[in-house]
């Protein structure tokens, strides 16, 4: 895959994700306006009216399926499919908050609490937290997709991606700790008391673990550096 083709595909995936972000923001704005819940950080953030709760969960699942589908269509290997899915997810997530800000003035700051997902239990966290993860996904996905298809991951990179496998569940725990505690005590997580603190130290550890392999991918290629050095040292033609 040439660089020009990769750039074109990247642009199309980003455009798709921006469109999805607007639709997501519009749907959430309509829903919150009808339920008088423009500010989600309040008791009973999503009143269960009829099948509304089930429909909202299915809508979230459909959104994830759409993001995965565009990644699968854009990529030609399992690596690039995951990369484009990560790019789409990150752009969609950041664009969602940007469009909501334009539509209704929320979030007022990146530290405003939001209910992020409902699957399988409600996820809570300041807006800044998912935005940080989304930014990592965009950068990481872009670096993965820019790599030549024939270039395999080295041993160091494979081991470093293991850190991501540790960072992801830690980050998920910071978002779901309040709901999981409610479930442990036999309380419906949707009706649990609102979280009052966010475990920033643990989240930062998770974020660093997820960022390490991305930083490794961003390093200058040893082959490129070696070729550049040879070019400098090569004798000039007579």
pLDDT for position 222: 57
Query: Buried b vs exposed e over 26-41: b needs ≥16 C-beta within 10 Å?
Result: eebbeebeeeebeebe
Q: CB of 131 within 8 A of CB of 171?
A: no
Taking the alpha carbons of 205, 207, 210, 215 in that order, is the dihedral positive or negative? Answer: negative
3-state DSSP percent of the chain in helix, strand and coil, to 5:
70, 5, 30
Q: How confident is the model at residue 231 (pLDDT cuts 50, 70, 90)?
A: very low
- For 82-101, write each residue's pLDDT tens digit: 999 999 999 999 999 999 99
DSSP structure class, residue 189: G
Give me the residues paired with residue 115 across strands: 124
pLDDT at 65 > cutoff 60: yes
Computed over every residue of the chain, the mean pLDDT equals: 87
pLDDT for position 230: 43
- For 121-156, write each residue's pLDDT tens digit: 889 999 999 999 999 999 999 999 987 665 666 788
Q: What is the mean pLDDT of the segment spanning 158-168? A: 90
pLDDT at 1 > cutoff 70: no
Q: What is the mean pLDDT of the segment spanning 157-184? A: 92
Q: What is the mean pLDDT of the segment spanning 65-69? A: 96
pLDDT at 185 > cutoff 50: yes
């Amino acid at each position: 895959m040439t660089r020009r083709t990769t750039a074109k595909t990247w642009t199309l995936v980003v455009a798709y994700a921006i469109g999805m972000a607007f639709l997501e923001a519009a749907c959430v704005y309509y829903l919150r306006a009808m339920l008088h819940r423009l500010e989600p950080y309040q008791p009973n953030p999503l009143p269960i009216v009829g099948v509304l709760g089930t429909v909202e969960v299915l809508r979230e699942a459909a959104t994830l399926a759409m993001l995965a589908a565009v990644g699968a269509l854009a990529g030609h290997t399992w690596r690039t499919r995951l990369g484009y899915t990560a790019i789409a997810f990150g752009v969609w997530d950041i664009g969602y908050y940007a469009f909501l800000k334009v539509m209704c003035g929320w979030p007022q700051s990146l530290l405003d609490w939001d209910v992020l997902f409902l699957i399988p239990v409600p996820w809570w966290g300041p807006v800044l937290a998912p935005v940080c993860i989304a930014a990592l996904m965009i950068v990481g996905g872009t670096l993965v997709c820019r790599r030549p298809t024939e270039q395999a991951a080295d041993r160091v990179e494979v081991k470093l991606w293991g850190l991501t496998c540790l960072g992801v569940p830690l980050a998920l725990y910071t978002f779901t700790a309040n709901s999981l505690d409610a479930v442990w005590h036999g309380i419906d997580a949707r009706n649990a008391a609102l979280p009052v603190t966010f475990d920033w130290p643990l989240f930062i550890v998770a974020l660093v673990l997820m960022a390490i392999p991305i930083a490794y991918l961003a390093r200058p290629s040893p082959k490129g550096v070696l070729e550049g050095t040879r070019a400098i040292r090569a004798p000039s033609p007579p």
